[in-house]
Amino acid sequence: MTDRSVNELRARVAQLEASQGPRELETTAARHDLAGALHESGQLIEAVEQYALAWDGFARRFGSSHLFTLTCLNNFALVLRDLRRWDEALNLFGQVHTERAASLGSAHPLTLNAANNFLSVLVRKGDLAAAAEEYPAFVDACEHTFGPEDGTTQAVRRDYADVLRRLGWHEEVVRVLGTSAMWPVGQVLIGCARLLRYTGLFPVAMTASRYGAELTLSLHGGARTDLGAGRELRDDDLGIRCAVVAPRDLPEPYDPAEDLRTTADQVADALGALGEHLAEADRELGEGRLRVRVLVHHAHWPRLSAPPSLTVDRRLMSARDRTRHDRVMRSTPHHPAPEPAGRRGLLGSRGGFSVRLTSAPHVTVSTAIGLDALPPPSPAGA
């Protein structure tokens, strides 16, 4: 939506207010269109104001349970969700769901749409356990209405699996999807590298394993895409899920005008190279024996005085498998780097080493750095 379109709609609303009054139906409908255009163009605060007025206008004319009123209320709640006003959005989506269920039935597509929006807020809010409790009934309702093989049902099932994956309930993921939820970790990393290269966004955090990857990328002045804060990207073939955040939402905000494409490209290079070598290690160790997590080590980010690094968490691998894995990694061409002293933890000795990959000379790939500050992975989450 262009600024011109928004301005045209704003002028239309002003004209109708002057000629017919602010509460007439045509004015209310035009105001609803204006609020939608404002939402689409990112002018969220004004969109909230216009949706509130339109909602009041529809409710006065048709009542609080009319479909027009509920559609406006649903769109109003979507803006509140994008503003991260979670509790207000949950309250409105709950109201829409209750009213639609009473008038249309619990299995109607519009009722299910309201339920899906409610769950999306729970997930964005981070209340994953509550969402996991609600999803089974929602999946059953979608199967009843649309059929088990319908694209809508499949999308809902994948969303449910994403919640379970983020909770670390990987066995449940397999049950929900009906297929294996595991991928070669090398392929997952290469997919993450492609995503970083495509977007050019700053990688704030990343955790990748054979169960897919979770990334958080932040906007900056050098981004290669027009993605905005709050957007999500996903690759269902590799289990990759990415959320985009604004610099102001980070613990230590940086200048959003700063061009951080070089850093993003460095990490992309390292992820791609590391992915290729983990694929080789996977082949040498044998299926299922490479039990690692790869994390972006960002203790000093977004302060960029130190080079970014990646950490390979191998704490669930046996000492024999770690030794074999080290042999594969040491075959990687690299610049010499200091080798950390061996450490001993609850899971036994886990001496590590660092390499600087020639394809990304400013990025250190380490098997030990930063692990003391990380909880060990569970057997299901490695």
**Kind and range of the H or E element at 266?**
helix 261-285
Residues in the chain with pLDDT values less than 50 = 299-300, 305, 335-351
Q: What is the pLDDT of residue 3?
A: 62
Please report, for the chain, how many H helices and E strands are present, in that order. 12, 11
Q: What is the pLDDT of residue 109?
A: 93
* DSSP for 13-48, written as a single string: HHHHHHHH-TTSHHHHHHHHHHHHHHHHTT-HHHHH
Q: pLDDT digits over 295-339, tens only? A: 886 544 555 545 567 888 888 888 888 888 777 776 655 544 444
DSSP 346: T
- Check if the beta carbon of residue 170 is closer than 8 Å to that of residue 380: yes
For β-strands 348-349 and 344-345, DSSP reports them as: antiparallel
Distance, CA of 39 to CA of 27 (rounded, Å): 18
Amino acid type, 149? E
Q: What is the pLDDT of residue 341?
A: 39
Q: What is the pLDDT of residue 369?
A: 65
Within 21-132, strands assigned E span none
Q: What is the pLDDT of residue 346?
A: 33
Sheet holding 232-235, edge to edge: 232-235, 240-245, 212-218, 202-209, 293-297, 309-313, 364-366, 354-357, 334-335
The pTM score is 0.59
- Check if the beta carbon of residue 138 is closer than 8 Å to that of residue 161: no
Amino acid type, 159? D
Q: What is the pLDDT of residue 86?
A: 94
